[in-house]
């Protein structure tokens, strides 16, 4: 049955009124996921919330949290004549320590944009004298497809395909976030990641930190309802993991996708921009499939990492500051001339604040 725009408006007004009724003190709620950040800006949800409710962006944009050291490694590989780099498009313009993949591409490096990791296998098959390195960046949402590509490479006997993994796991990052001094009253959890891992991996938020959290979908009403569910928990003094996005994210997640991930990857400590090294938060190709792991098989000299001067991406990703608190925002740093990763990706908090307006920088 179709829902009329009048019904949608009525429902949005109901959530908005109820949130205002329940809130009796300032609340800091974090939307962990970059897709939520963009949806919140696009739909004008902030205007429907009382001033006491502050929504802050979190570390859920995979490109944003990928470290400079990883980028520098990818750039170093791209300088080798016998290497083809395959990557999703949004990695191209992220500045590394002294260059970016787009600059290297303009200089002649063979860097190709793919829309699925599997395309890398076709490229490898068509270029047998080259080493094809796929930049595997993303959370639990994209790791299963990259893992399936490794399995397909093994099945097909492809021996010139490699993965440079920067895959990251969201729950350990949330634990790290809650363990430091950032005050958060509640979390909106990423719907896509939750569709893979389910509800269980988040239980520590309620148990260890007494932080309520709600898995949320991506429509404006999904997000508004999830905020309402959070505010209701807070008003009742509860801290539970709830799921607003049951139509897609089942409580048990997607066991098949998790199985494929486990078949190919092992957990390792890894570096997050802004959060530093987080124990058990990264994925690397495991021993059985190590021949597909770029860093284990292909030597490369990587320049020392230099972080962009004045960039507050780390603080933005921890919810410590807003993008507009960075002195470079909108002046030296803009989407067409980004200094930090949060201004590059469409899901980056700085890019969202810039594109959709924050009061200080109207559209
Ligand atoms: S505005 Fe630019 S330089 Fe400042 S934190 Fe954001 S990405 Fe970094």
Query: What does the mean pLDDT of the chain come to?
Result: 94
Query: How close is the Cα of 248 to the center of ligand 1, in Å?
Result: 33
Beta bridge partners of 337: 334
Query: How close is the Cα of 312 to the center of ligand 1, in Å?
Result: 6
Q: What is the mean pLDDT of residues 37-61?
A: 92
Which ligand 1 atom is the nearest neighbour of the CA of 326?
Answer: 4
Per DSSP (E only), the strands in the chain are 27-33, 53-60, 83-87, 111-113, 131-138, 161-167, 186-190, 213-216, 241-243, 265-272, 276-285
Q: Say which DSSP state 336 is in.
A: T
pLDDT band at 358 (very low <50, low <70, confident <90, very high): low
CA dihedral defined by 63, 326, 226, 1, rounded to 10 degrees? -70
Supply angle C-alpha 89, 90, 93, rounded to 5. 100
Q: Is the CB of 311 under 6 A from ligand 1?
A: yes
Q: Is the CB of 316 under 6 A from ligand 1?
A: yes
pLDDT band at 361 (very low <50, low <70, confident <90, very high): very low
Query: How close is the Cα of 23 to the center of ligand 1, in Å?
Result: 32
Supply angle C-alpha 112, 116, 122, rounded to 5. 65
Q: Is the CB of 326 under 6 A from ligand 1?
A: yes
pLDDT of residue 5: 78
pLDDT of residue 359: 38
Which ligand 1 atom is the nearest neighbour of the CA of 330?
Answer: 1
Query: Per-residue pLDDT tens for 123-144?
Result: 999 999 999 999 999 999 999 9
Query: How close is the Cα of 110 to the center of ligand 1, in Å?
Result: 29
Per DSSP (E only), the strands in 47-160 are 53-60, 83-87, 111-113, 131-138
- Structure tokens of 157? 């006997």
- Structure tokens of 236? 């009742």
Closest protein CA for atom 1 of ligand 1: 329
Q: Is the CB of 349 under 6 A from ligand 1?
A: no
Query: Per-residue pLDDT tens for 155-178?
Result: 999 999 999 999 999 999 999 999
pLDDT of residue 51: 94
Three-state DSSP at 133 gives strand
Segment 284-289 long-range contacts (CB within 8 Å, at least 24 positions apart): 284/165, 285/150, 285/163, 285/165, 288/264, 289/150, 289/151, 289/154, 289/264
Which domains are delineated in the chain? 23-61+170-238 (3.40.50.11750), 64-169+253-297 (3.40.50.11740), 313-356 (no CATH)
Residue 363 pLDDT > 80 = no
Q: How many residues does the chain have?
A: 363
Residue 182 pLDDT > 90 = no
Query: Per-residue pLDDT tens for 68-108?
Result: 999 999 999 999 999 999 999 989 989 999 999 999 999 99
Number of alpha carbons in the 13 Å side-chain half-sphere of residue 122:
8
Q: Is the CB of 49 under 6 A from ligand 1?
A: no
Q: Is the CB of 343 under 6 A from ligand 1?
A: yes
Q: Is the CB of 333 under 6 A from ligand 1?
A: yes
Which ligand 1 atom is the nearest neighbour of the CA of 333?
Answer: 2
Three-state DSSP at 112 gives strand
Q: What is the mean pLDDT of residues 336-362?
A: 81
Query: How close is the Cα of 192 to the center of ligand 1, in Å?
Result: 26
- Choosing from 313, 320, 358 the residue with most ligand 1 atoms within 8 A of its CB, the one to mutate for a pocket test is 313
Q: Which residue has the higher pLDDT, 186 or 180?
A: 186
Query: How close is the Cα of 305 to the center of ligand 1, in Å?
Result: 18
Radius of gyration of the chain (CA): 21
pLDDT of residue 116: 94
Q: Is the CB of 323 under 6 A from ligand 1?
A: yes
Which ligand 1 atom is the nearest neighbour of the CA of 316?
Answer: 5
Q: What is the mean pLDDT of residues 190-203?
A: 98
Residue 362 pLDDT > 60 = no
pLDDT band at 181 (very low <50, low <70, confident <90, very high): confident
Least confident of 151-155, 204-208, 310-314: 310-314
Which ligand 1 atom is the nearest neighbour of the CA of 341?
Answer: 7
Residue 329 pLDDT > 90 = yes
């Amino acid at each position: 049955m179709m829902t009329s725009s009048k019904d949608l408006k009525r429902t949005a007004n109901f959530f908005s009124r109820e949130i205002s009724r329940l809130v009796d003190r300032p609340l800091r709620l974090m939307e962990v996921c970059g897709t939520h950040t963009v949806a919140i800006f696009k739909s004008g949800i902030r205007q429907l919330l009382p001033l006491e409710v502050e929504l802050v962006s979190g570390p859920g944009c995979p490109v944003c949290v990928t470290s400079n050291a990883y980028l520098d490694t990818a750039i170093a590989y791209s300088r080798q004549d016998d290497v083809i780099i395959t990557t999703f498009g949004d990695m191209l313009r992220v500045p590394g320590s002294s260059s970016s993949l787009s600059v290297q591409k303009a200089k002649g490096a063979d860097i190709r944009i793919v829309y699925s990791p599997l395309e890398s296998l076709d490229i490898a098959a068509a270029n047998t004298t080259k080493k094809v390195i796929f930049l595997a960046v993303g959370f639990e949402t994209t790791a299963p497809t990259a893992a399936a590509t490794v399995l397909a490479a093994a099945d097909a006997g492809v021996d010139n395909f490699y993965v440079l993994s920067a895959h990251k796991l969201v729950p350990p990052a949330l634990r790290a976030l809650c363990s430091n001094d950032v005050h958060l009253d509640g979390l909106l959890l990423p719907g896509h990641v939750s569709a893979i891992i389910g509800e269980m991996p988040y239980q520590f938020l309620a148990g260890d930190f007494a932080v309520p959290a709600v898995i949320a979908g991506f429509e404006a009403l999904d997000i508004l309802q999830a905020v309402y569910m959070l505010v209701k928990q807070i008003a009742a003094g509860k801290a539970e993991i709830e799921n607003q996005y049951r139509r897609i994210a089942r409580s048990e997640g997607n066991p098949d996708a998790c199985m494929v991930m486990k078949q190919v990857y092992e957990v390792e400590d890894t570096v997050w921009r802004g959060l530093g090294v987080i124990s058990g938060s990264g994925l690397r190709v495991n021993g059985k499939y190590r021949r597909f792991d770029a860093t284990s098989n292909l030597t490369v000299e990587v320049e020392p990492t230099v972080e962009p001067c004045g960039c507050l991406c780390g603080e933005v990703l921890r919810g410590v500051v807003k993008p507009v608190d960075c002195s470079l925002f909108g002046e030296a740093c803009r989407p067409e001339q980004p200094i930090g990763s949060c201004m590059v990706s469409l899901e980056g908090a700085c890019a969202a604040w810039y594109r959709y307006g924050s009061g200080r920088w109207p559209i």
